Amino acid sequence: MQTKLALALIAALAASSAFAAAKEQRVTKSAAEVLKDSPNADWRALDPENTLLMNLPQGQVVIELAPRFAPKLTANIRALARASYFDGLAVIRVQENYVTQWGDPDEDDAKARPVPDGIKGAKEFSIPLKGLPLNKLHETDGWAPLNGFVDGFPVAADPKAGRAWLAHCYSTVGVARGNEPDSGNGSGLYVAIGQSPRALENNIAAVGRVIKGMELLGSLPRGTGNLGFYEKPEQRTAITSIKLAADLPEAERPKLQVLRTDSKTWGELLEARRHRSGWYIKSPERTDLCSGTVPTRPTP
């Protein structure tokens, strides 16, 4: 069967150059080779002011905030974390093939935890496309006329409307909102855990992405209530704390780097994802916005 070996090859997106040449396919480095050969300058440190650490009993989730796309809401989230707002709250909802959501289980009740002064809702669904350093992906996916990456985040855009927005890919973090477009204030957050829910774009604010620990939020038991809400309080996962890295001593901050999406390595990685050989008998000759996760690595 050789399944283990074969799947090793699948996952590494492996391309044996010799084999590729023999088949007269395009010779391209594998994704693993591209990353191994990448210069340190193609990686960047995390900005502690934009790094959210969500501590769960299962482990730590690291979220990178994208203030460029939601300046008010990311400022709210920073302020909420600094006020220890999330500590002791919970994951309240896990809906299969959709979202994991956390915040105040009592938010709609009299028992709701008050948010600090100055935290107001905001409608930050898109920003001007003009001037945005969009590293364009030549593949479109039908959900937007233009797409690519900015600062390590997947971004979709509509040149006619002159707008751009953080795409709702697997692992994108957004701000839950009520019926009013500006009702989300950052006190309730969610992450996409299944097929990328692109229909949400321009309807809700995306504020960042999970760059580590996504497996913790994706493997929680699904809630059995309507929309995946947990029916009993004891089914919820408690949030030990959500802290901003900037508020922690340097030694307690995550030692992670993110690949720069304006780097040569990123371009090569996309090429490796497009052109596959070895185990692959038919190279897809394609990638897309939500398949192309931006890698992180431990700081060397």
Looking at residues 8 to 27 of the shown chain, list those that interact with a copy of itself (rule: CB under 8 A): 8-11
Binding of residue 147 to a copy of itself (CB under 8 A): no
The answer to whether residues 157 and 144 touch, using CB atoms and an 8 Å cutoff, is: yes
Binding of residue 299 to a copy of itself (CB under 8 A): no
Q: Which is nearer to a copy of itself, 4 or 160 (CB)?
A: 4
The least CB distance from residue 271 to a copy of itself, in Å, is: 13
Binding of residue 268 to a copy of itself (CB under 8 A): no
Number of other residues whose CB lies within 10 A of the CB of residue 153: 22
Binding of residue 286 to a copy of itself (CB under 8 A): yes
- 3-state SS string for 198-225: HHHCCCCEEEEEEEECHHHHHCCCCCCC
Binding of residue 158 to a copy of itself (CB under 8 A): no
Among 234, 282, 298, 300, binds a copy of itself (CB under 8 A): 282
For residues 205-224, which are near a copy of itself according to CB under 8 A?
Answer: 214-215, 218-222
Among 87, 181, 248, 271, binds a copy of itself (CB under 8 A): 181
Going 266 to 271 to 277 to 283, the CA torsion angle's sign is positive
CA distance 184 to 252: 30
Going 194 to 106 to 237 to 120, the CA torsion angle's sign is positive
Q: Which is nearer to a copy of itself, 251 or 281 (CB)?
A: 281
In the stretch 120-139, what mask flags binding to a copy of itself with x, by CB under 8 A?
-------------------x
Q: Which ranges constitute the DSSP H helices of 183-300?
A: 214-218, 264-274
